[in-house]
Amino acid sequence: MDTGKSGTILIIEDEKKISDIVELYLKREGFVTRTAGTGEEAMRRFNEPFDLIILDLMLPDISGEELCSAIRETSDAPIIMLTAKSGEEDRIRGLGLGADDYVVKPFSPRELVARVKAQLRRTKKGTRRVLSFNQGFLTMDTDNHEVKKKGVPAVLTPTEFRILMILADKPGRVFSRLQLINMVQGYDFEGYDRTVDAHIKNLRQKIEDDQRNPLFIKTVYGVGYKFTGILDED
């Protein structure tokens, strides 16, 4: 059992009973925990480094959605949202805002701890130099910017490579076109929708077999794009 260095987790939840039990289960697994009972309190903590953030969508002062966006301005730590809303639209909206996973209340603390561990494993893998997906169908060398499709180098522009890395670093997370262009270019500009769409189209031509039925970059209608490749185990 790994203890001590599992990571530091911020729990943003106004219901003390829930916050306490989540803390208890995480501490038992060796995590260091910090808690915030209001959005405002959470805001004051965002300059501290966290490995993961658990965020209740329904807070008394600031909405979970707003907080999620605020966290994403400064931190790339995985966010797991807690919510009583189970609708698929809310789920997609939550993930579109930058949450990595979603747990619907009432939840089992054991289940939440499992999701926390899964997110942290994923984050660690994201820093590995060579990433391989779908049994080697697609590989990415993050250091020398080399992408291969079935072992054959695919020549990507720097922007295409950046977009692919952003998406592949968080499989399953939906990124809006605006988020992607902000992360790639660092500023807004006119016509970003079509610009992103054009880059995605080119990327698909280079890495997919069937562009109308993509394995790796899927369109989430009305929201944006997500990466759906399956990371190979070592």
The nearer residue to Ca ion, 58 or 223, going by C-beta atoms, is: 58
Three-state SS for 30?
coil
CB 68, min distance to Ca ion, A: 14
The nearer residue to Ca ion, 12 or 165, going by C-beta atoms, is: 12
The nearer residue to Ca ion, 14 or 146, going by C-beta atoms, is: 14
CB 63, min distance to Ca ion, A: 11
Give CA separation, 138 vs 86, 168, 204, 226, in Å.
Answer: 34, 11, 12, 16
CB 26, min distance to Ca ion, A: 18
The nearer residue to Ca ion, 106 or 191, going by C-beta atoms, is: 106
Which residues bind to Ca ion, rule: CB under 5 A? 14, 56, 58
CB nearest Ca ion: which residue? 58
Beta strands, E only, 84-230: 101-104, 130-133, 138-141, 146-149, 152-154, 174-176, 217-220, 224-227
β-pair partners for 65: none
β-pair partners for 148: 139, 153
For the beta carbon of residue 214, count every other beta carbon within 10 angstroms. Answer: 18
CB 13, min distance to Ca ion, A: 6
The nearer residue to Ca ion, 57 or 180, going by C-beta atoms, is: 57
Three-state SS for 48?
coil
Give CA separation, 149 vs 107, 165, 203, in Å.
Answer: 40, 15, 11
CB 116, min distance to Ca ion, A: 19
Provide Rg for the chain, Cα atoms. 18
The nearer residue to Ca ion, 9 or 200, going by C-beta atoms, is: 9
CB 38, min distance to Ca ion, A: 10
Give CA separation, 173 vs 78, 153, 226, in Å.
Answer: 10, 26, 6
